[in-house]
């Protein structure tokens, strides 16, 4: 197995698979009534659990990369690798939403819901993943842990 595969792809894909499993699990296990509940505390609890798990996924990717002997940059990229899933899911939806809005109302082709989606589904997970990688970026040398 190549060095890039051991230090970037395997740890990054492990973190990505965990994030995908969490997204599927949350949507399948949490009843829709809780998502639509007007009480903000219920939604905040679910969001807090979701974001804190992303901290763990970022740490997992960076730790596995560090264990395999990855450089600081490789550890960071392996930790934020699940953002590829979010970018692949939400960027096309945002672009299609903008195109549909422009087709339906050409005079009011503004952005209405897109900043909220970008903040919730792209910025917050990216920050959580990056913060999760921080403990494993301290040492510049790529020490192999046994």
pTM of the model as a whole? 0.79
**pLDDT tens digits, one per residue of 15-72:** 999 988 988 887 787 777 766 666 666 667 777 888 899 999 999 999 999 999 999 9
Query: Residue 77 class from Cβ within 10 Å (0-12 exposed, 13-18 middle, 19+ buried)?
Result: buried
Angle subtended at Cα 92 by Cα 62 and Cα 127, rounded to the nearest 5 degrees: 30
**pLDDT tens digits, one per residue of 68-91:** 999 999 999 999 999 998 888 888
Angle subtended at Cα 110 by Cα 108 and Cα 121, rounded to the nearest 5 degrees: 145
Instruction: Please report, for residues 39, 54, 120, 127, the alpha-carbon distance to residue 10 in angstroms, rounded to integers and kept in the order given.
Output: 40, 17, 27, 22
CA 114 to chain centre: 17
């Amino acid at each position: 197995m190549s060095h890039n595969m051991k230090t970037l792809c395997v740890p990054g894909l492990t973190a990505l698979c965990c994030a995908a499993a969490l997204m599927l699990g949350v949507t399948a296990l949490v009843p829709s009534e809780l998502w639509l509940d007007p009480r903000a505390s219920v939604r905040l609890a679910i969001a807090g659990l979701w974001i804190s798990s992303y901290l763990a996924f970022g740490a997992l990717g960076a730790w596995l990369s560090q264990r395999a002997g990855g450089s600081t940059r490789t550890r960071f990229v392996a930790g934020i690798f699940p953002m590829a899933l979010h970018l692949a899911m939400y960027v096309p939806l945002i672009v299609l939403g903008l195109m549909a809005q422009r087709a339906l109302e050409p005079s009011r082709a503004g952005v209405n819901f897109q900043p909220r989606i970008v903040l919730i589904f792209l910025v917050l997970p990216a920050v959580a993943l990056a913060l999760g990688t921080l403990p494993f970026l301290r040492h510049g040398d790529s020490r192999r842990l046994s």
